[in-house]
């Protein structure tokens, strides 16, 4: 099932790279950018997340929270975050495998990973913008900026 613009974003609770639970509903009152990516330590994924890292202050200037989600284990995400200097939450959708990606309609069964789906969610928990790209196709950070500016 694909999530459409104007729908309530499915709530979830996942562990970040530090083992801390992060719930989408716990972030109500501020915008959230949910960024699904296939795999840690891979070229396109690393490039996209480094671009977010390098522009984090722009993306979070109005209080937005960035949540990057993959099916990697929390231990892998911790090493990935430390190696690349990510100061935002990398969430593990490891078990049940891909459950949150499936809820958002961005899980690729054949690959066993999420495609590149991004959802901008407003302060009330409603999806206001989204993009879904295939696994090899990087997203444009400028589109995230435009979507956040429109909130």
Active site positions, annotated: 45
CA distances from 114 to 20, 22, 73, 124 (A): 22, 19, 14, 25
- Residue 122 token pair: 């407003």
Query: CB under 8 Å, gap of 24 or more: what pairs does 100-103 form?
Result: 100/10, 100/12, 100/14, 100/69, 101/36, 101/69, 101/71, 103/1, 103/3, 103/10, 103/12
Largest CA distance in the chain: 38
Distance CA 93, CA 24 (A): 13
Contact assessment for residue 33 and residue 66, using Cβ atoms and an 8 Å cutoff? yes
């Amino acid at each position: 099932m694909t999530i459409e613009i104007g729908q309530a974003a499915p709530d979830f609770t996942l562990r970040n790279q530090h083992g801390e639970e992060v719930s989408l509903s716990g972030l109500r009152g501020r915008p959230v950018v949910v960024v699904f990516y296939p795999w840690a330590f891979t070229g396109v994924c690393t490039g996209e997340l480094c671009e977010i890292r390098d522009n984090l202050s722009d993306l979070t200037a109005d209080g937005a929270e960035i949540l990057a989600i993959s099916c990697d284990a929390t231990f892998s995400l911790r090493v990935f975050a430390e190696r690349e200097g990510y100061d935002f939450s990398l969430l593990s959708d490891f078990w049940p495998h891909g459950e949150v990606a499936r809820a958002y309609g961005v899980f690729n069964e054949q690959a066993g990973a999420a495609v590149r789906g991004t959802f901008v969610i407003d302060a009330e928990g409603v999806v206001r913008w989204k993009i879904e790209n295939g696994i090899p196709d990087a997203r444009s950070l400028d589109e995230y900026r435009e979507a956040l500016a429109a909130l």
